[in-house]
Structure 1
Amino acid sequence: MNWFVAKVVYQIISGEGNHAPQFDEQLRLISATSKADAWKKANDIGEEGQYAFQNQQHQKVEWKFINVPEIYPISELKDGMELYSRIEEPGNVADYLAWLRTKSSQWNTPSPLAFLPS
């Protein structure tokens, strides 16, 4: 068996969908014999992962499976290896850095971003 990282994408739809479009991009670790088998397995995971519920406003909130757009083979598992990378181009750098600081603060460890200028 071989290891792969698959990106599984869902669209999040609340109510009638009259909101800013939202997509949940999940990275899944897949064990498979080939890239094609990994895609099939990731696709099955995506299909099975669809769900819906009623929110507090009694609106349907749905995770709708879209597709598996990317599969990456992993030749070996080792500490600190890069699994995925995406370049961000934020409209507002200060807001983006503030968001990163907020997200990293939940780990209760000093963030290298804490030393960046606001």
Structure 2
Amino acid sequence: MNTKIVCNQHIWFTVSLIYEMDINNQKITNDGSWEESILLIDALSSEDAIEKAILLGKKKEIEYSNSYNEHCQWRFIGVANCYQILDEEIGEGCEVFSRFLRPEEGKSLLTPFES
């Protein structure tokens, strides 16, 4: 995660949140049981961005019954990453997230989920 950045103006960050799915209060092991959600956060520092993201992550937890009448719950696990956006202006073409990948990660991202 970023080191502490403090100034008098707001800074844009992308924060990666991790969620895990439980069905009937049990962890599931299939490929669709985890979610990464990347949010755009306006904050004064990376610590402030993480605090905001944690609050948003907890608010976005959901519960519902699926078509098999099973209780499904997406639980917020935590913040995986926080990156400051370096572009001076936020708009079309602005890079909001980038990372280097291992070969297996790149292949995994290109492999669609089976339904």
Per the normalisation by structure 2, the TM-score is: 0.70
SS at match of 1:47: helix
Q: Which runs of 5+ in 1 are unaligned?
A: 101-118
1:19 pairs with 2:29: yes
Change (3 A) 1:60 1:88: farther
Aligned length: 98
The aligned residue for residue 112 of structure 2 is 99
C-alpha RMSD of matched pairs (Å): 2.7
Max radius of gyration: which structure? Answer: 1
Which of the pair is proportionally richer in helix? 1
Structure 1 runs of 4+ aligned residues shifted over 4 Å read: 95-98
- Equivalents in 1 of 2:86, 2:109: separation in Å? 33
- Equivalents in 1 of 2:100, 2:71: separation in Å? 31
Q: Percent identity?
A: 21
Q: Is the 8 A contact 2:19 2:36 kept in 1?
A: yes
Per the normalisation by structure 1, the TM-score is: 0.69
1:52 pairs with 2:63: yes
